[in-house]
Structure 1
Amino acid sequence: MTAATKPSVFDAGLPVLDYDITATPQDIYPQFRAAQQQAPIALGPVGPEVLSYELARTVLRDPRFGIPPGIHLSAHGITSGPLWDRVTRSILNMEGAEHRRLRGLVSTAFTPRGTARMDPTIHTVVNELVDRVAGQGRCEFVADIARPYPIPVICALLGAPRDDWQRFSRWAEDIFKIVSFDCDLAAEEPVILRAWAEFDDYIDEMIAHRRDHLTDDLLSELIRAEDDGDRLDAGELRMLAFSVLIAGTDTTRSQLAASMQVLCDHLEQWELLRDQPDLAMRAVEETMRHSPSMCSTVRSALDDVTIGEYMFPAGTFIIVNTYAANRDPAIYDDPARFDITRDEPPPILTFGGGAHYCLGANLARRELAEALKILAHRMPHPRRVGPVPWKPLLGMSGPTSLPIEFG
């Protein structure tokens, strides 16, 4: 059979996933596991879902699959206008030569060595958050620790003073409505645009000051960035600062809460991490494999694309189900087992792949690993003391609350 005659994914007799789009990853996992035994792809409620590790990695790396522009906005019926223009012009939605150019200029600022300078800020922020609840021996982890954690780190990363952390937090709360499914986005658009404009004005002032007084922060690194005489202009610097804020806040919040939950549920692993803090980075990888807050990413076929035994018609909306792929039994031994001592497991797909591999992956890993080290030391014997509801699989998942006692 030639590539041209491969069956469309819609006509290939693939297994069907029957779940509500509000269902959590844990609710749907038995369906994913059953479907994986039949085929590497299944037909889900919004389109084909790639379930196998190898096929998911292939799709993520294949330039014939692109990110649908403004996907969160179009889900709310917004397909044009000032908010649409701003969102779709960010690096998070770019493709092609311009995307490659910006990534090339920015990537040097996100090396492991570059992100290591954030350790003092990370330690200060996490310890201050734990200090507030340590005497009580209990907390609502999402509200007390995970939610307030990332903004101060991002502010310090950009070089904003501590006095302005609350301003960033307010802007972030309004701007994050872009990726929320819980609000009337059209009605909230003026609020979002106002917060975004205030954030841009603030960053413009920082850029003007940094051009004459470069320091040891991300914004200065981006100003220094150069490739054969090519530099970032003010608009690009402003857009990249926004992208750091939008991509690095809710993801870290949600994953820290998800990681804390699975470690609470496997107390022997928590004790292992406490006694061997060098396992922190492996704990991050395993929690993001086993219990990720980002469970999927979306792509669309830019043309008719044939991979293996299947053809994806042009325009097909595809869910790359990294939650299922990271638990592929063909790749991971006993994939449902949670074990932070797994010996050299294959790389997780939670950060994506190919041209859109997460630029901030090193920073995210660092933030999570350093936070877990401190929490394991300062919160002995954590245990859940109430229900832990999760957000749906599609979009940003993770616990919405996590009541714990410790000590």
Structure 2
Amino acid sequence: MTAATLSVFEADLPTLTYDLTATPQQIYPEFRSAQQQAPVALGPIGPEVLSYELARAVLRDPRFGIPPGIHLSAHGITSGPLWDRVTRSILNMEGDEHRRLRGLVSRAFTPRGTARMDPTIHTVVNELVDRIEGQGSCEFVEAIARPYPIPVICALLGAPREDWQRFSRWAEDIFKIVSFDCDLAAEEPVILRAWGEFDAYIDEMIAHRRENLTDDLLSELIRAEDDGDRLDAAELRMLAFSVLIAGTDTTRSQLAASMQVLCDHPEQWALLRERPELAMPAVEETMRHSPSMCSTVRSALDDVTIGGHTFPAGTFILVNTFAANRDPAIYDDPARFDITRDEPPPILTFGGGAHYCLGANLARRELAEALTILARRVPDPRVVGPVPWRPLLGMSGPVSLPIEFG
């Protein structure tokens, strides 16, 4: 190869040596040092894109795809019923089939489409705060963050609120497919059983909705049409699963992470309380500064040269959005937490390109409403114990967050 097309494995790039169990906060100094040397570094699982511009370019480039079933492969599962189910979901699709499904589904996730969830979101958050308001303390993850998203997802799909505990149990079991800290082969029967129960429940809902359409997401998906093309029952079932898996732990973890960083900056919490219109900027800033989803994986579908770096075909690439969202070339004083940043560039936490998160509008609304109500009803929160985080790879965020408040 010439110097211009030298593989990232042959180029003189910085090396990252962090432990796979390390948290984002533990690794950040190493990211920051490597970022000052090059936009790409060689990490424990392969090349890591660290700069904002290159990360955005890779996420938007169709020459980089999502490796199918990568979390399963890490556990040695490369075939079988669980593999088939996971790799056939919209979260793993590429090409024409992916574009078709996104085109049919996207209208249900516009800002106007998700605005109908505001009354439910408002009710759920207030009911959770009611339980802790007079106590003066709580374990925030268990009391607020963990139970928050499931009733919202039930309402989104059109399921009765009293079924939220069933949905929560299914989500807990199914979400093991993206966990790095369990024996996935041993858990496969549990996952498949929960997934089967969820599918059967959704099938009953689909049959009922076809006769009695309402204003919920499932009805919107049934109505969705493009030149006569409609979603069949299997696609509706798969999309309902995708909503459950993509909208549960992500929201839980990010709400806890956002709460922690606001507790660590009491002047920002006071500002949010005084100016609730800052709730949405606070969501953007907490997801930039302290994201629970810190990275996403891509694979080079061919030899790809981008930004002066060549990634050989088949290379697994970690797009390190945590580092990219703190790129000093893009964000002034990137380690500073400031919910009043003046028109900052868009965060990369929701991904980009063809796989930009369909539920981003809903997630922002859920987080903004939660922070607005918490700032109003939970005065002067402060962290009063250790806050262990899950590792950077996979879903990160606080495992527990003990707080006291006025």
TM, length-normalised to structure 1? 0.99
The residue type equivalent to 1:145 in the other structure is I
Q: What does residue 402 of structure 2 align with?
A: 403
Per the alignment, residue 309 of structure 2 pairs with: 310
- Shift in Å at residue 5 of structure 1? 4.6
Q: Do structure 1's residue 287 and structure 2's residue 279 form an aligned pair?
A: no
Counterpart of 1:54 in structure 2 is: 53
SS at match of 2:222: helix
Residue number in structure 2 paired with 1:254: 253
Partner of 2:232: 233
Q: What residue in structure 1 maps to residue 40 of structure 2?
A: 41
The CA deviation at 1:72 is: 0.9
- Give 2:84's aligned residue: 85
Letter in 1 for 2:296: T
State the 1:182 CA deviation.
Answer: 2.0
TM superposition shift of 1:338: 0.3
Deviates further, 180-189 or 394-403: 180-189
Task: Provide the rounded CA distance (Å) in 1 between the counterparts of 2:25 and 2:163.
Answer: 38
- 1:293 counterpart SS class: coil
Alignment correspondent of 2:96: 97
Instruction: Return the offset for 1:167.
Output: 1.1
Counterpart secondary structure, 2:9: helix
Distance 1:193 1:268 in 2: 47
Aligned residue for 1:174? 173
Secondary structure of the residue aligned to 1:148 is coil
Per-residue CA deviations over 1:57-102 (Å, capped at 9, x if unaligned) read 0000000000010011111110000000000000000000000000
Taking the aligned partners of 2:126 and 2:334, their CA distance within structure 1 comes to 33
Say if 2:338 is the partner of 1:339: yes
Gaps of 5+ in 1: none
The whole-number CA distance in structure 1 between the counterparts of 2:164 and 2:29 is 42
Matched residues in 1 for 2:321 and 2:181: separation? 23
Which is further off, 184-193 or 238-247?
Answer: 184-193
Q: Which runs of 4+ in 1 moved over 2 A?
A: none
Q: Is the 8 A contact 2:4 2:308 kept in 1?
A: no
Letter in 2 for 1:167: R
Tell me the equivalent position of 1:137: 136
Q: Do residues 123 (structure 1) and 111 (structure 2) align? A: no
Looking at structure 1, the residues matched to 257 and 240 of structure 2 have their Cα atoms a distance apart, in angstroms, of 26
* CA distance in 2 between partners of 1:289 and 1:5 (Å): 33
- Structure 1 CA distance for aligned equivalents of residues 4 and 264 of structure 2: 49
The residue that corresponds to 1:165 in the other structure is 164
Question: Which amino acid letter does the alignment assign opposite residue 357 of structure 1?
Answer: Y
Determine if contact 2:145/2:256 at 8 Å carries over to the other structure: yes
* Aligned residues between the structures: 406
Change beyond 3 A, Cα 1:5–1:345 = closer
Aligned to 1:28: 27
Deviations 1:237-260 (Å, cap 9, x if unpaired)? 000000000000000000000000
SS in structure 2 at match of 1:11 = coil
CA–CA distance in structure 1, aligned partners of residues 367 and 307 of structure 2: 37
The letter for the 1-side match of 2:221 is L
Counterpart of 1:107? 106
CA RMSD of aligned residues (A): 1.0
* Residues in 2 aligned to 1:176 and 1:59: alpha-carbon distance in whole angstroms: 27
Letter in 2 for 1:293: S
Letter paired with 2:216: D
Report the Cα distance in structure 1 between the residues aligned to 2:167 and 2:387, rounded to whole angstroms. 28
Deviation at 1:308, TM superposition (A): 2.5
| Superposed CA offset, 1:297-335 (max 9, x none) | 000101100112211000111000000000000000000
Task: Give the partner amino acid of 1:54.
Answer: E
Q: What CA distance in whole angstroms lies between the structure 1 residues aligned with 2:390 and 2:162?
A: 32
- The residue identity in structure 2 corresponding to 1:253 is R
Question: What's the secondary structure of 1:9's corresponding residue?
Answer: coil
Spell out the pairing of 1:347-366 with structure 2 (5 A cutoff): 347-366=346-365
